[in-house]
Structure 1
Amino acid sequence: MAETMTRAQRLDRLPFTRKHTKLLVGSGVGWALDAMDVGLISFVMAALGAQWGLAPDMLGYIAMIGFVGMAVGASLGGWFADRIGRRNVFALTLVVYGIATGASALVPGPEGIGIMAAVAILATLRFFVGLGLGAELPVASTLVSEYAPKAIRGRVIVGLEAFWAVGWIMAALLGYFLIPVSEDGWRWALGVGIVPTLYALYVRFGLPESVRYLEKQGRVEEAEAAVRSYEEAAGVQAVPSPDQGASANTGTESIWSPQYRVRTAALWIVWFCINLSYYGAFIWIPSILVGRGFPLVRSFGFTLVITLAQLPGYAVAAWLIEVWGRRITLSVFLLGSAISAGLFGFAPTETLIIVFGCMLSFFNLGAWGALYAVGPELYPTGVRGTGTGAAAGFGRIASIITTSPWFVPVLLAAGGVALPFSVFGVAFLVAAGAALLLPEQRATALAA
């Protein structure tokens, strides 16, 4: 009798092929465009603060409303991905935030409509930008996780998350070379954001739908064709698979059921703390440096150098996550982030600002890579998108807090740069402890 394997098992046994590379890069480009948009707003804020004469509290509103959109988008995006497909939601999110970002470049200046109206229009568009951004990230990581071979799944997802650094570097380059050139420099930078709308067409027709999702929907022939295309790319012979239609799983699991509630709570804590500290630091660093007396171009240059340290952070995390495992790697990188945040807050010289900023960038982004690898592994197919999206949505609440005019600006006024970065350090420590409560999923198959 011929050996039978589920389609998920057939995917797990494969080596990494050109098909996997196409999926990783195709999803990663969308991820990089996402990061570019998030990163750009920090440079746009610094430019608008100088050009429009906006106070830190007004800049905080602009940043905060984007994260309100991200919180809503992350929660809805994961839920919809479990119901209408990973690929469809991925493409839709690119369209939403691409159009909204492009429209942001056309916002009238305060000289024509008044400062409050200009800020209100920009903030409204930032909400829709956030809506698309927030939904895209957990959906993309879920899709790639469901195709990656289990032996290297964590490494593949850290590789996907590394595209975030590419996008943030693109934002830093635009901020450094384009925004300071003219008064309309920030508009040209935001105008680049229309690119995701065009890229969405490729996502919709060029990337595969999740095999596990197709099986849940009873679309067995499509699922079989997708698996066979990956087997052919690897030169591996297909084996029979039992029919796995919609009846294979009812999709009625809850991420708060007894078997998942501890991991869900721990994941939410990590997401909350890492969002609080990451966005609190990196959204405000250009403005903080300007506030310390550095010229706009010089502060953008510092930020660009600090951003480059994200790439080796991802590379080291990608290696360690299959050596140490997910839980320890995530916890260690969060601990390194805590130490780096404290050192950056007390850095007395330009050289140490750059050194400690690079350390923070290295450890923090390595932790992000490990976190995105962990999330999809914690839940079965029927609630995988919901689980990852809900955690991301809860984390965005921290992003709203940390980018609001009542948080970092207040802490800066009360205790200088040292106070907010000390708070960030404590949050990283809490996240490191919560990470130890997550189950270790290295080299295990994704739950059906």
Structure 2
Amino acid sequence: MSDPKFVDENRDPKSMTGEDDKDVEALARPYPVGTNEELDDVSVQKGDLLGQEHTDPVLNAKMHLVNDAIDEIGFTGYHWKLFVLNGFGYAVDSLILLIQSIIATQAAYEFNPSFTRGMTIAVYVGMLTGALFWGLTADIIGRKFAFNFSLLICSIFAIVAGASPNWYVLGLFVCLSAFGGGGNLVLDTAVFLEYLPSKNQWLVTLMAAWWGLGQLVAGLFAWAFLPNYSCDSVETCTYENNKGWRYVWYANGALVFVMSIARITVIKLRETPKFLIGEGKDEQVIETLQFIANKYNRPCSLTLERLQACGVTGAANGIGLDVHAKSRFSFKEVGVHLKGLFASRKLGLSTSLIWFSWLLIGLAYPLYNVFLPTYLATRGAEFGEQSQSVYWRNYAIANLCSIPSPVLAGYMCRSPWFWGRRGTMIIGALVTMAFFFAYTQNIYYGTLYAYTPEVLPSAHRGTGNGIAIGLNRVMGILSAVIATVADTSTPVPIYICAALYIVMAAVACAFPYEPMGRRSS
């Protein structure tokens, strides 16, 4: 069989008429089920990252046209708004995670619980269930609902957490707040990525700087309230003299509430074109792209006729895969999306290695933070004056140092000198290990956050990303258990964590896809 003609991604989209339309139509022509020889020859330009996986040639052809249209429109003010508003989700995830650790000691003084690490488990359980719930629903009903409401849920329970009457209720509200905040993180990268022109995809890595900003805000609120409104011990602690941790929840919850309102009022998000393509809603795809193009006076030559000429996506065309089960709200629906993440050998390898990487860093990151303070204290480390004010000031300054790493990672992942995303993760992991974590770990973390959605197929991106982050949260729960039963003064866990980063570098070497210079599907 002769090679099919391809749509030239370097040609002006306005010139793609006549014979080019026939090329796309020929590309998407359905073959009989099971004719693998024909399927092996059906692909789109190598510029589309997953375009040659042959899971659905019609969907690949349509995705190629949508990518062309997004590139033709270019980067607009709409994308800047998404960068900021989606960045809120990054910030809130780190904010909620740090707040529970910041206030845990003071809340324990007041409530005197039998299990002091309960808040850590509560926040990770909430983030685990949130990642899975919002990730799956994003592939079932779309990205828009989670984008609009997950932060609102987070903010409500964060505010209520400040009024908790006992340790158990506090744990419940922390868990529910994390359910909204942690689940939102699954959508931040997906929504932003699915609107971005290909040359700007590196901004998904840069967006991790918002994670550091969230840590900084948490540290600043702790510095503002805890030194002056906290008790010193269980014996002296009362509700009246220990309101600092409650003020921290109130302030952070109010800030997240403002962010959630901004998401609804500033952007008025439309469903992403790449999700709509998988749903077969070609008319809405054109409407969304034309809306952005018209609003910012940009060209968009893609028409409904050109999309429809490619054929019908999914099982209806005889060769594609279903993107949904007969009943969307069923276990079979989950199976469909899991199957889609392993639709080819290469895609299955990529998915497995990504999930394994999230497991590794999910264990190394919290374990290091759990064991390091005790390890340093038992080795005679001197920190000088340790008043509450100085302590929380230094804490805020230290968190400020977590912002530059994602900025550096954003530069590295777009530069051929650092071998793209995979090279950035390799370098980030090894440098982190060499410097014994410092704040260079955010180079690897930030790049992995961006890399994960880039190499997942759009129809199953929410599920794959949700499971990845969910596995990370499972290891966070495990770290709290380990810290409870293990000797925190031994150096062994520190060295194990460093060794895990070597393994992460090796896994990054084995990733089969490199997104630099390629367009996500």
Taking the TM superposition and a 5 Å limit, the aligned residue runs for 1:148-297 are 148-153=196-201, 155-182=202-229, 183-192=242-251, 193-204=253-264, 206=267, 207-232=269-294, 235-241=297-303, 242-243=306-307, 247-249=312-314, 250-251=322-323, 252=336, 253-257=339-343, 258-282=345-369, 294-297=386-389
Q: CA separation of 1:91/1:286 partners in 2, compared to 1, >3 Å: closer, same or farther?
A: farther
2:189 is the alignment partner of 1:141: yes
Give 2:499's match in structure 1, choosing from 411, 417, 426.
Answer: 426
Query: What's the offset of the Cα at 1:90?
Result: 2.1
Q: Specify whether residues 289 and 14 from structure 1 end up closer, same or farther in structure 2 by C-alpha distance, changes over 3 A only.
A: farther
Question: Counterpart of 2:93?
Answer: 34
Query: Quick one: distance in 2 between partners of 1:72 and 1:90?
Result: 16
Q: Which residue is 2:517 aligned to? A: 443
Measure, in 1, the Cα distance between the counterparts of 2:375 and 2:175.
24
Query: Of 394, 411, 428, which residue of structure 2 is paired with 1:319?
Result: 411
Contact 1:99 1:197 (8 Å CA) reproduced: yes
What is aligned with 2:38? none
**By how many angstroms is 1:143 displaced?**
0.5
**Secondary structure of 1:248's match?**
coil
Q: Is 1:84 paired with 2:141?
A: yes
1:248: Cα distance to partner? 2.0
Residues 325-364 of structure 1 aligned to structure 2 (within 5 Å): 325-341=420-436, 360-361=438-439, 363-364=440-441
Moved more, 314-323 or 127-136: 127-136
Q: Give the 5 Å matches for 1:99-110.
A: 99-108=156-165
Could you say what secondary structure the match of 1:209 adopts? coil
2:377 & 2:109 partners in 1: Cα distance? Answer: 10
Q: Deviations over 1:6-60 (max 9, x none)?
A: 22321134432212101111111232233222221121123334555567xx232
Task: Specify the code of the residue in structure 2 equivalent to 1:85.
Answer: G
Secondary structure at the aligned position of 2:196 is classed as: coil
Q: CA offset at residue 69 of structure 1?
A: 1.8
Contact 2:162-2:246 at 8 Å conserved across structures: yes
Output one character per residue of 1:200-233: Cα deviation in whole Å (capped at 9) or x when no partner: 3443452332111123334333322321233346
Alpha-carbon distance in structure 2 between the residues aligned to 1:382 and 1:148: 17
The one-letter code of the counterpart of 2:91 is A
Pair 1:179–1:209, CA change in 2 (3 A): farther
What is the letter of the counterpart of residue 93 of structure 2? D
Larger Rg: 2
Name 1:11's counterpart in structure 2. 70
Is 1:215–1:246's contact at 8 Å kept on the other side of the alignment? no
* Deviation (angstroms), 1:185: 1.0
**1:414 deviation in Å?**
4.8
Matches within 5 A, 1:399-410: 399-402=476-479, 404=480, 406-410=481-485
Distance 1:429 1:13, change over 3 A: farther
163-172 vs 306-315, which deviates more? 306-315
CA distance in structure 1 between the partners assigned to 2:209 and 2:144 by the alignment: 20
Deviations 1:313-336 (A, max 9, x none): 111100000113011101211122
- Corresponding letter in the other structure for 1:214: L
- The answer on whether the counterparts of 1:138 and 1:389 sit within 8 Å (CA) in structure 2 is yes
Q: CA deviation at 1:284?
A: 7.2
* Map of 1:75 onto structure 2: 132
CA contact (8 A) 1:142 1:384 kept: yes
Output the CA distance in 1 between the equivalents of 2:170 and 2:245. 13
Q: Which amino acid letter does the alignment assign opposite residue 256 of structure 1?
A: F
2:171 corresponds to: 123
For residue 65 of structure 1, report the CA deviation from its aligned partner.
1.9
Alignment partner of 1:365 out of 423, 442, 452: 442
Equivalent-residue separation in structure 2 for 1:59 and 1:295 (angstroms): 23
Contact 1:314 1:369 in 2 (8 A): yes
Uncovered stretches (5+) of structure 1, i.e. residues with no partner: 109-117, 342-358
Tell me the amino acid that sits aligned with residue 518 of structure 2: T
One-letter code aligned to 1:307: N
- Match of 1:181, SS? coil
Q: Distance in 2 between matches of 1:94 and 1:283?
A: 28
Tell me, in whole angstroms, the C-alpha distance in 2 between the residues paired with 1:380 and 1:425.
Answer: 32
How many residue pairs match? The answer is: 413
Q: Could you say what secondary structure the match of 2:227 adopts?
A: helix
Aligned equivalents of 1:190, 1:285: Cα separation in 2 = 26
Post-superposition shift, 1:259? Answer: 3.4
Amino acid at match of 1:261: G
Q: What is the TM-score when the length of structure 2 is the normalising length? A: 0.73
Q: What is the match of residue 350 of structure 1?
A: none
Q: CA RMSD in A?
A: 2.7
Cα separation, 2, equivalents of 1:224 and 1:197: 33
Q: Which has the higher contact order (CA 8 A, sep 6+)?
A: 1
Q: Tell me the distance in 2 between the aligned counterparts of 1:432 and 1:97.
A: 34
Preserved contact between residue 87 and residue 210 of structure 2 (Cα < 8 Å) = yes
C-alpha distance in 1, partners of 2:126/2:425? 27
Question: Deviation string for 1:133-153 (max 9, x for gaps)?
Answer: 221111111010111111220
Partner Cα distance (1:229, 1:284) in 2: 52
Which residue of structure 1 aligns with residue 457 of structure 2?
Answer: 380
